[in-house]
Amino acid sequence: MRGRCPAVVVILLAALAGCGGSGSNEGGDRQLRVLAASSLTEPLDALADEFEADHPGVSVTAIYGSSATLASQVIEGAPADVLATADLDTMTTVEEAGAVLGPTSFAGNRLVLVTPADNPAGLSSFADLSSSEVTFVACVETAPCGKVARALLDRNGVPTQPRSLEIDVKAVLTKVTTGEADAGLVYASDAQAAGNEVQTFAVPGSAQEQNTYAIAVVEASSHGDLAAEWVDLVLSERGQSELAEAGFGPAPDTAP
Amino acid sequence: MTRGGVTGEPALGPPPLRLLVPAVVAGVFVALPLLGLVLRSPWERMPTLLADAAVREALWLSVLTATVATAVCVVLGLPLAWTLARTEHRGRSVVRGLVAIPLVMPPVVAGVALLAAFGRTGLAGAYLLDAGVTVPFTTVAVVLAHTFVALPFFVLSAEGALRSASSEYDAVAATLGADRWTTFRRVTLPMVLPGLAAGMLLAWARSLGEFGATVTFAGNYPGTTQTMPLLIYSVLQDDPPAAYALSLLLVGASVLVLVLLRDRWLGQVRAR
């Protein structure tokens, strides 16, 4: 009896630590941990398969989330090899904290207007948002997609306000696809991923208000060489075409 | 007064280490994050933050919606608790289980469920829409979300209080000619008031901290649906220090609730 309970606790903790550590233990696999903005899910998953095929014994684990959350995780020392953010500001914060090495911009994304497939409010263009009858949603202005949405609404002189400032772009898309909102401002890549579930309309001036995606090797990475190869793949022609297929554009010029 | 014999101290010996060590670990585990929050918060920014219109709006909305939700919990939950405590019927355990579900349900799932019921295409929402009423994205939606998650806290506390106030008093009141409504109002209610107050505080505190169901069902807009937890999450994305400071305000509110509950919980323990 003596000490059984603590022993059980130790075993459980060890098992948990195992989960957190090198997840795969098939003959000393190397694991590349990529932390990326959730809008990158589709193209990076495709590139991960390719990377694994080219690097036997390497498994790529992609963790998707909001850029700000991932950035603070990297600053706080979460295990990671590569960080990809949906905007330059967030990456700059991480770079200034000394947590990443020399970031590069690798893609751009512009906002589009989406409606549910049956377009219940009968929108025919972005200008129809000005009608007070239309319930539309956008990202909260503290998030990159919200900053761009605010800039575009101002630039086009839309007098009406969003009914809700959703906490991330996926939440905006969900409000539209579930029919709670008549329209929403999401990234072109999200609209592409939603396929037939939405109708997509262009937003005037969206090319001038793009956000820039940045990628960098994490300073504390234990596989710096592999991480650099991953960044090269994303920047390569192959990586760029995968991104273009998912609705992303090339990285816009950094000049304002 | 003196419990021990000659020594004056009962001979229990010192507390065993294998109880003491985990107890200390537990205490530190809870205290450390709170300490981190206190140390990391930019205290000097607190006055500016409190003067900020968005913060005041969110604070006011949080207090308002939590209070209204608590009131709804009492108006609907007290009769439900009474029914569970004082009547015999087969469906009782089913109802009690049903009421408790939001306790263990992830709040985001609660939000999705509320959308399925009261959203524009929801079970009841579709009829409401025909009548010209849309619930999501309104303050009413925030109150509904809060009520949904806080109701079990109130109902279960109230039912416990009603059960411990023995129904023999009801029987005595009946022999004196009181009907059940009069008995409820004049006999039962005064006896269970402290228990109800504790349930109300729990429900209020749960409302104040509610995030998942609110953001999913009601959305996030300053002045109509952005409560403090939603504001904190929004601010965390580009100004983490401000988010720490705002979090402290909510911790302060939780401490206040504990202080108000101290006679009930801490006091009860002390009395033993």
CATH class in words for A111-202: alpha beta
* pLDDT band at residue A114 under the 50/70/90 scheme: very high
Q: Is there a shared CATH topology between the A4-108+212-245 domain and the A111-202 domain?
A: yes
pLDDT for the residue numbered A237: 94
Q: Is A247 on the interface with B (CB under 8 A)?
A: no
pLDDT exceeds 60 at position B245: yes
pLDDT > 70 fraction of chain A, expressed in percent and rounded:
88
A-chain residues near B226 (CB < 8 A): 165
A-chain residues near B115 (CB < 8 A): 178, 180
Could you tell me the CATH superfamily of domain A4-108+212-245? Periplasmic binding protein-like II (3.40.190.10)
pLDDT for the residue numbered A7: 61
Q: Is A66 on the interface with B (CB under 8 A)?
A: yes
Q: What was the ipTM of the complex prediction? A: 0.74
pLDDT for the residue numbered A115: 96
pLDDT exceeds 60 at position B201: yes
pLDDT exceeds 70 at position A14: no
For range A199-226, the mean pLDDT: 92
pLDDT exceeds 80 at position B255: yes
This prediction's pTM: 0.79
| Residue ranges of domains in chain A | 4-108+212-245, 111-202
Average pLDDT over all residues of chain B: 88
pLDDT for the residue numbered A16: 62
B-chain residues near A167 (CB < 8 A): 215, 220, 230, 233-234
What one-letter code names the amino acid at A247? G
One-letter-per-residue 3-state SS of chain B:
CCCCCCCCCCCCCCCCHHHHHHHHHHHHHHHHHHHHHHHHCCHHHHHHHHHCHHHHHHHHHHHHHHHHHHHHHHHHHHHHHHHHHHCCCCCHHHHHHHHHHHHHCCHHHHHHHHHHHHCCCCCCHHHHHHCCCCCCCCHHHHHHHHHHHHHHHHHHHHHHHHHHCCCHHHHHHHHCCCCHHHHHHHHHHHHHHHHHHHHHHHHHHHHHHCCHHHHHHCCCCCCCCCCHHHHHHHHHCCCHHHHHHHHHHHHHHHHHHHHHHCCCCHHHHHHC
**Residue with the larger pLDDT of the pair A12 and B74:** B74
pLDDT for the residue numbered B4: 45
Contact A219, A98 (CB under 8 A): yes
pLDDT for the residue numbered A255: 41
pLDDT for the residue numbered B154: 96
Average pLDDT over all residues of chain A: 87
Q: Is B241 on the interface with A (CB under 8 A)?
A: no
pLDDT exceeds 60 at position B3: no
pLDDT for the residue numbered B265: 60
pLDDT for the residue numbered A28: 57
pLDDT in tens, B120-177: 889 999 899 888 888 989 999 999 999 999 999 999 999 999 998 877 888 888 898 8
A-chain residues near B126 (CB < 8 A): none
* pLDDT band at residue B9 under the 50/70/90 scheme: low
pLDDT exceeds 60 at position A6: no
B53-227: CATH topology is MetI-like fold (1.10.3720)
**Residue with the larger pLDDT of the pair B54 and A256:** B54
pLDDT for the residue numbered A137: 95
Q: Is A166 on the interface with B (CB under 8 A)?
A: yes
pLDDT for the residue numbered B90: 83
Q: How far apart are CA B262 and CA B247, in angstroms?
A: 23
Q: How far apart are CA A244 and CA A239, in angstroms?
A: 9
pLDDT for the residue numbered B271: 45
Q: In this structure, what token pair is assigned to residue B36? A: 């981190």
A-chain residues near B219 (CB < 8 A): 137, 163-166, 175
pLDDT exceeds 90 at position B6: no
A-chain residues near B235 (CB < 8 A): 142
Closest alpha carbon within chain B to A135: B137
| Residue ranges of domains in chain B | 53-227
Residue B225 distance to chain A (closest CA, Å): 8
Contact A108, A250 (CB under 8 A): yes
**Residues 75-134 in B contacting A (C-alpha not used; CB under 8 Å):** 115, 119-121, 134
Question: What number of C-beta contacts closer than 8 Å exist between A and B?
Answer: 64
pLDDT for the residue numbered B12: 85
pLDDT for the residue numbered B238: 76
Q: Is A68 on the interface with B (CB under 8 A)?
A: yes
pLDDT exceeds 50 at position A92: yes
pLDDT in tens, B73-107: 999 999 999 999 988 888 888 999 999 999 999 99
Closest listed residue to residue A103, CA positions, set A227, A235, A215: A215
